[in-house]
Amino acid sequence: MNKRVVILGAGYAGVVTALGLAKETTVQEVEITLVNKYDYHQLVTQLYEPAAAAKRDTEVRIPLARLLSGKHVRFVRDVVTKIDLQAKTVMLQGGELQYDYLVVALGSETEYFGIPGMKEHSMTLKSVDEARLIRTHIERCFAEYPYDPRPEYLTFVVGGAGLTGIELVGEIANWLPRLCEESNIPRDQVKLYNVEAMTSILPGFDDDLAAKAEEVLRAKGVIFKVGSPIVQVEPEAVHLKSGEIIRAKTIIWTGGVRGNQIVVDAGFETEPRGRAKVNEYLQAAGHEDVYMAGDCCFVLNEQGRPYPPTAQLAIQMGTCVARNLCAELKGQAKTSFTPKILGTVASLGGRDAVGKVGKNYKTSGRVAYLIKDLSQIRYLAKIGGLMK
């Protein structure tokens, strides 16, 4: 009987694993099943654009039927609820699946750090649906203001100044002049805050690039509160450690990620933030029939610290897992995972960005934006997502 490989999650890691494995095997060798809660692949790294009306939702999601067309991958649209490692079974809302090999690529969840009220009263940006919610919420605030002219309606708070927070606040800043014009509201009545607990923005970026990003965003009207932990959130108020209270109808939380709870509950060995430990072949510690890829696991850098969770790492892990599964099925030697960090570029809204390519090339402005765009096109070409 051919082996059954079940891949959980059709994000960057899961899709690349499925396509890579299908490319190198035949239907006689392996039965591949890909499970995802949506019937489309989300371009998560671009979600800040539909969230701020810079792109349509359909531009950041690709139907899985299109990506998997002609490939020997069976797609199951369902929600994973549990992994039973002993029984080699995955429980779904609508049934269950048996596997010989499992690939867990379920991504991450939001970390709220126990801040009172944050989970209840903030929005997050991890899916196309959430991007739509943010966009329509902001539009609604502008629409309601003339009938209830309290400044809370025109005050927007983005919590967290990592890549997600900075890209989102930049794109909202870019959108505000248009919103103000359409609503006939002067721009100076609108306040857009970025609040960060650490003393600088864009952790992991060189200081000069982070400073450049801050300068560009300040010029677009972003008010920074760095070194200002949020200590409590209420329906219309954000409390900072300093005692300052920002009254706002909108708080979007991007300040933390943690591993997927399903991974923790399954009993995999995890670090305190819930990301699973893997060996050099990306097999889960103590479970050689389970591979992990993307945000739900972690690998260490040369300094012995976990690499931050990124799409570029998830894609490279997916490629490695596909290669190792293929080797395993064909009785060949597996290869170790060696991350190759190609640099990171942060969008600052519109066609502006800052970042580093390779080890030393620093870039900003339109060139940086073009580099970011090119990496996106390269990814789409890899998964066959350019064709309509």
Ligand X SMILES: Cc1cc2nc3c(=O)[nH]c(=O)nc-3n(C[C@H](O)[C@H](O)[C@H](O)COP(=O)(O)OP(=O)(O)OC[C@H]3O[C@@H](n4cnc5c(N)ncnc54)[C@H](O)[C@@H]3O)c2cc1C
Of 219, 227, 213, 214, the residue nearest 355 (C-alpha): 213
311 interacts with ligand X by CB under 6 A: yes
Please enumerate in sequence order all residues whose Cβ is within 8 A of that of 388, keeping only pairs 6 or more positions apart, or say none.
none
Nearest-angstrom CA–CA distance, 377 and 118 = 35
Q: Does residue 55 touch ligand X according to CB under 6 A? A: no
> Three-state SS across 356-370?
EECCCEEEEHHHHHH
The verdict on whether 152 is a catalytic residue reads no
Interaction between residue 312 and ligand X (CB under 6 A): yes
Which of 7, 10, 115, 161 is close enough to bind ligand X by CB under 6 A? 10
Check binding of 21 to ligand X (CB under 6 A): no
Per the residue annotation, which of 167, 171, 214, 328 is the catalytic one? 167
Q: Which is nearer to ligand X, 176 or 266 (CB)?
A: 266
Size of the site for ligand X (CB under 6 A): 33
Question: Which of 152, 148, 145, 193 lies closest to 172 in space, CA to CA?
Answer: 193
33 contributes a contact to ligand X by CB under 6 A: no
Distance between CA 21 and CA 27 in Å, rounded?
11
Closest CA to 99 of 185, 171, 34: 34
Residues 6+ apart with CB under 8 A from 142: 153, 154, 179, 182, 183, 185
- Restricting to residues 154-213, name those near ligand X by CB under 6 A: 163-164, 167
Contact between 256 and ligand X by CB under 6 A: the answer reads no
The only residue of 5, 9, 17, 230 in contact with ligand X, by rule CB under 6 A:
9
Residue closest to ligand X, measured at CB: 11
Tokens of 178: 């248009």
Nearest distance, CB of residue 96 and ligand X, angstroms: 13
Task: Give me the residues that bind ligand X (CB under 6 A), please.
Answer: 9-14, 35-38, 42, 44-45, 47-48, 79-80, 105-107, 125-126, 163-164, 167, 262, 294-295, 309-312, 314
Active-site amino acid positions: 167
